Homo-oligomer: A and B are copies of this chain.
Amino acid sequence: MNPKALYKLGYGLYVVTSKKGDRLNGQIANTVFQITSEPATVAVSINKKNLTWEYIKDSGVFAVSVLCQDTPLPFIGRFGFKSGRETDKLAGLEIKMGLTGAPIVLDNAVSYLEAKLTGELDVGTHTVFVGQIVDADVLNDKPCMTYEYYQQVKRGTTPKTAPSYVEEKKGA
């Protein structure tokens, strides 16, 4: 088996946010996809170790911001490589409070959606959360970031807790 075959799967890059009581948090994800059109539902795979996982479990809501291609790496690093347990990831950002109460990140976003949890699947290290879309809008017509662009052009890296992390073998 050649794990590089999996690199060919296509993704966008997203900030997935949720809340727990008054606390808000978000993280980077590349695995957001629509799974039904009637009603419109989306799925996202979230690592059980992540604070956003705990928040989605608690509140049953989440929001997704679709990132534009020119999203700066430090912005992605803020959401992808730091934990909301140690830092307020949303400090200083432009937020729209969603109908669900989940915070929608507007910085570097081309569109957003928010959803109420309707199902979930335990897949070991991760949970696939499924949510029915409550609200969604397009913000601008900028090109979207693809995961391929993030890795190849931006030279972005992937945290160990990501669904698509592949450990590079030393000397390989």
Residue A172 lies at the interface, judged by CB distance under 8 Å to chain B: no
Tell me if A128 and B121 are in contact (CB < 8 A): yes
- Assign chain A's interface to a size class: 35 or more
Q: In the complex the two chains form, what is the Cα distance from A34 to B11 in whole Å? A: 10
Question: Taking the full assembly, how many copies of this chain does it contain?
Answer: 2
Partner of A136, one of B1, B40, B41: B1
Instruction: From A16-24, A51-59, A73-81, A140-148, give the one contacting chain B.
Output: A140-148
Residue A8 lies at the interface, judged by CB distance under 8 Å to chain B: yes
Residue A130 lies at the interface, judged by CB distance under 8 Å to chain B: yes
**Residues of A with Cβ closer than 8 Å to B?**
1-13, 31-43, 45, 66, 110-113, 118-126, 128, 130, 133-138, 144-148, 162-166
